[in-house]
Amino acid sequence: MSLGIWLGSLEQGLLWGAMVLGVYITFRVLDYPDLTVDGAFTLGAAVAAHYILLGGNPWVAVVIALFSGAAAGLITGLLHTGLKVAPLLSGILTMIALYSINLRIMGQANLSLLRVKTIFNQVLNIPQLDTFGPVILGLLVTLVVVSLLYLFLQTELGMSVRATGNNEQMIRSLGVNTSTMKLVGLATGNALVALSGGLVAQYQGFADIGMGIGMIVAGLASVIIGEALVGNQTLIRAIIAAIVGSIVYRAVISLVLQLGLPATDLKLLTSLIVVVALSFPLVRQRLGLRSLRLRSEQNAEASQREQNLSSRRG
Amino acid sequence: MLKLVNVNKIFHPGGVNEKVALKEVTLQVQPGEVVTIIGSNGAGKSTLLNVVAGVYGVEGGKVILDNQEISHYPEHFRAAWIGRVFQDPLQGTAASMTLEENLTLALRRGHPRRLRWGITSAERRLFKQNLALLGLGLEERLAARVGLLSGGQRQALTVLMATIATPKLLLLDEHTAALDPRTAATVMDLTEKIIAQHRLTTLMVTHNLEQALRAGSRTIMMHEGKIILDLHGSERERTTVAQLLNMFERASGNSLVNDRVLLS
Ligand SMILES: Nc1ncnc2c1ncn2[C@@H]1O[C@H](COP(=O)(O)OP(=O)(O)OP(=O)(O)O)[C@@H](O)[C@H]1O
Ligand SMILES: [Mg+2]
């Protein structure tokens, strides 16, 4: 493979990295199977593209995308905490609603950014930087996002969000309103996803109504790959794992495309990666991903624990 | 300190599965009093603690803590005043977070969680001091994940977490039942030490009759959602385990021996 393709995978992995971190936050940290992601990614792209086409600053566009994603996450969270809609359905409802909203924001199914200023064609104009411009930008953005996220997850608020995903009963008995923490977690996760959407739209030079389809599965595949390669023993490791997973996933995709697989089969391939990974009990156990498993399976585990307890009690 | 007035708790009211778990329960606990609670399976002991903690609302009656009615406050709100340790050692800690993170979460009980840096170095020192008192060597493992600890270590940690921000009321629900006898004894000693040190008002559910009489200053017995026996003072001091069993049989018309109550 040529340098260009490796460089391309690296660029993509970094720019889609925020999306993977978003999935990591909702699925892993908060243990919430959030399907808002597909809609939130496109939302970020749509909002950023629309704002740039209005003559806005492309960096400001990214920030606006971030906030739009947070709003989408909040809505999913409110459906769940306020109206008691099941987690899966709450995300689906928002995702479907966002399809219409995204179309309204864009006004059409596709917005081209080829003739306007984006963060990428700005750096591409800097001599000597052109080839590595996108990678450097991606690295910068990733560095900022990873650092802020790492710091956030160690604040009082961030720790409470993590504890909510880890042991809801416990953290409630320590005086934390877990509904609020779910809102915070979902808003944070989807903010990152939309941020990624805003970056990707500028990178590709267009926003498209279908660009978020399957994002959730791509994100999961990346998280799984990352945790298998890097591990998740510590917080910083788990965060870096998401980024590494994102890059490796994009590299795998480019490689497979190189080998002649039609691009239209990519979604099938991504699903297969996740299915295969989840079918290894060991992987499943180590990665947790509790929110992905059937309730019955979790219950079986819980009653197993009960049994151990009572047998020990004699 | 704690007062329950005619508290009723009904699960699935009106449904086919309707279950009256607490019937007109009235109980008054003095500040600093340590009450042990015994009773057969399904007597309503855990439900009593859950109703006090706010896990469940009540279908009638009042829960009053420190002259303030708390019956309608949600669980996380009441948690500001109440420390809890559960039966399952896995239930009281966050496994994928570190010891110091768990302790920090516990230390912030009763305070809003803000965008403020989680652990200060002064707090880390405080954690080390407190962990050293457990005598389990945990003070060297502040950055280890709690999931790596044994059940006994986790339960000792949970006791510390429930009391590190001194609560008005401590609720213990068979918190040593899932541990092997030696570890159970260690955790129990530790619990009694902490209770004495802070003079904590405590409700402690236990299946161990001997322990129920020895620990604390008062023992109540529950049966079918009611308090059927309330022992304190010299009367309690004179009571033996065998007599306690007898009292239960007389009061309830049932035999406890078939139950899983431990006699030793
Ligand atoms: N969440 C619930 N939903 C329905 N019924 C419940 C619930 N919790 C408890 N019960 C019922 O209420 C009654 C009292 O249960 P509780 O758990 O308080 O008993 P307990 O005294 O703690 O018993 P054990 O010694 O087994 O722990 C039981 O009949 C139980 O089946
Ligand atoms: Mg019980």
Domain boundary among B148, B166, B184: B166
> Does the interface predicted TM-score (ipTM) exceed 0.95?
no
Percent of chain A at pLDDT > 90 equals 72
Which of B76, B82, B178 faces A312 most closely, judged by CB atoms? B178
Question: CB contact, 8 Å: A159 with chain B?
Answer: yes
Q: Judge: B79–A173 Cβ closer than 8 Å, yes or no.
A: yes
Same domain, B237 and B180: yes
- Express each pLDDT in A253-293 by its tens digit: 999 988 998 988 988 989 998 888 777 766 655 555 555 55
- How far is B86 from chain A, CA to nearest CA, in Å? 9
Is A219 in contact with A273 (CB distance < 8 Å)? no
Smallest CA-to-CA distance from A216 within A13, A9, A15, A42 is with A42
Please, which pLDDT band fits residue B247 given cuts at 50, 70 and 90? Answer: confident
- How far is A233 from chain B, CA to nearest CA, in Å? 8
Q: The tokens of B239 are what?
A: 């009571």
Mutation to probe ligand 1, out of B10, B16, B19 (largest number of atoms < 8 A from CB): B19
Residues sharing a CB contact under 8 Å with residue A138, sequence separation 6 or more, in sequence order: A10, A11, A13, A14, A15, A17, A199
Q: Which of A1-15, B30-44, B103-117 has the lowest mean pLDDT?
A: A1-15
Section B41-47 average pLDDT: 93
Same domain, B77 and B176: yes
Residues facing residue A155 across a β-bridge: B117
Is A23 in contact with A189 (CB distance < 8 Å)? yes
Q: Which of B92-96, B120-124, B234-238 has the lowest mean pLDDT?
A: B234-238
Asked whether residue B86 is domain-assigned, the answer is no
pLDDT at position B263 over 80: no
Is B55 in contact with B47 (CB distance < 8 Å)? no
Same domain, B73 and B101: no
Section A183-211 average pLDDT: 97
pLDDT at position A299 over 70: no
Same domain, B38 and B156: no
Q: What pLDDT sits at residue B15? A: 87
Which atom belonging to ligand 1 lies closest to the Cα atom of B12?
A: 4
Same domain, B121 and B241: no
What distance in Å separates the CA atoms of residue A77 and residue A280, rounded to the nearest whole number? 31
What distance in Å separates the CA atoms of residue B248 and residue B217, rounded to the nearest whole number? 19
Distance B47 CA to ligand 1 centre (A): 6
Same domain, B189 and B246: yes
Range of the domain at B215: 2-81+167-263
Please, which pLDDT band fits residue A305 given cuts at 50, 70 and 90? Answer: low
Q: What pLDDT sits at residue A308? A: 55
Residues 133 through 162 of chain B touching chain A, CB cutoff 8 Å: 145, 161
Q: Judge: B76–A167 Cβ closer than 8 Å, yes or no.
A: no
Smallest CA-to-CA distance from A27 within A300, A288, A302 is with A288
Percent of chain B at pLDDT > 90 equals 77
Sort B142 into a burial class: Cβ within 10 Å, 0-12 / 13-18 / 19+.
Answer: middle
Nearest CA to ligand 1 atom 28: B42
Same domain, B134 and B256: no
Residues sharing a CB contact under 8 Å with residue A131, sequence separation 6 or more, in sequence order: A7
pTM: 0.90
Q: What pLDDT sits at residue A314? A: 39
- The single residue listed with the structure tokens 């959730």 is A216
Asked whether residue B200 is domain-assigned, the answer is yes
Section B145-159 average pLDDT: 94
Please, which pLDDT band fits residue B139 given cuts at 50, 70 and 90? Answer: very high
- Nearest residue on chain B to A303, judged by CA atoms? B88
Tell me the residue length of chain B: 264
pLDDT at position A295 over 90: no
More confident of the two residues B133 and B52: B52
Section B103-109 average pLDDT: 96
Mutation to probe ligand 1, out of B37, B45, B207 (largest number of atoms < 8 A from CB): B45
What distance in Å separates the CA atoms of residue A11 and residue A200, rounded to the nearest whole number? 10
Same domain, B138 and B9: no
* Chain A interface mutation, best of B96, B109, B111, B208, highest count of A Cβ atoms under 10 Å: B96
- Give the torsion sign (CA, B137, B138, B140, B145): positive
Nearest CA to ligand 1 atom 9: B47
Number of domains comprising chain B? 2
Q: What is the CATH number of the domain that holds B65?
A: 3.40.50.300
State how far the alpha carbon of A236 is from the alpha carbons of A149, A183, A230, A250, B200, in Å.
Answer: 10, 23, 10, 22, 39
- Express each pLDDT in B210-231 by its tens digit: 999 999 999 999 999 999 999 9
SS3 of chain B: the string is: CEEEEEEEEEECCCCCCCEEEEEEEEEEECCCCEEEEEECCCCCHHHHHHHHHCCCCCCEEEEEECCEECCCCCHHHHCCCEEEECCCCCCCCCCCCEHHHHHHHHHCCCCCCCCCECCCHHHHHHHHHHHHHHCCCHHHCCCCEHHHCCHHHHHHHHHHHHHHCCCCEEEEECCCCCCCHHHHHHHHHHHHHHHHHHCCEEEEECCEHHHHHHCCCEEEEEECCEEEEEEEHHHHHHCCHHHHHHHHHHHHCCCCCCCCCECC
Sort A193 into a burial class: Cβ within 10 Å, 0-12 / 13-18 / 19+.
Answer: buried
Same domain, B174 and B251: yes
Q: What pLDDT sits at residue A313? A: 46
Same domain, B74 and B171: yes
- Express each pLDDT in A138-186 by its tens digit: 999 999 999 999 999 999 999 999 999 999 999 999 999 999 999 999 9
Asked whether residue B156 is domain-assigned, the answer is yes
Nearest CA to ligand 1 atom 30: B42
Same domain, B175 and B251: yes
Section B122-151 average pLDDT: 93
Asked whether residue B147 is domain-assigned, the answer is yes
Section B137-164 average pLDDT: 94
Domain boundary among B127, B147, B166: B166
Nearest CA to ligand 1 atom 29: B42
Domain boundary among B151, B166, B181: B166
Q: What pLDDT sits at residue A304? A: 57
Which of A155, A160, A172 faces B75 most closely, judged by CB atoms? A172
- Express each pLDDT in A81-131 by its tens digit: 999 999 999 999 999 999 999 999 999 999 999 989 999 887 666 666 667
Question: CB contact, 8 Å: B166 with chain A?
Answer: no
Same domain, B195 and B255: yes
State how far the alpha carbon of A208 is from the alpha carbons of A13, A47, A60, A109, A110, in Å.
Answer: 19, 11, 20, 6, 4
Smallest CA-to-CA distance from A193 within A9, A13, A10, A22 is with A22
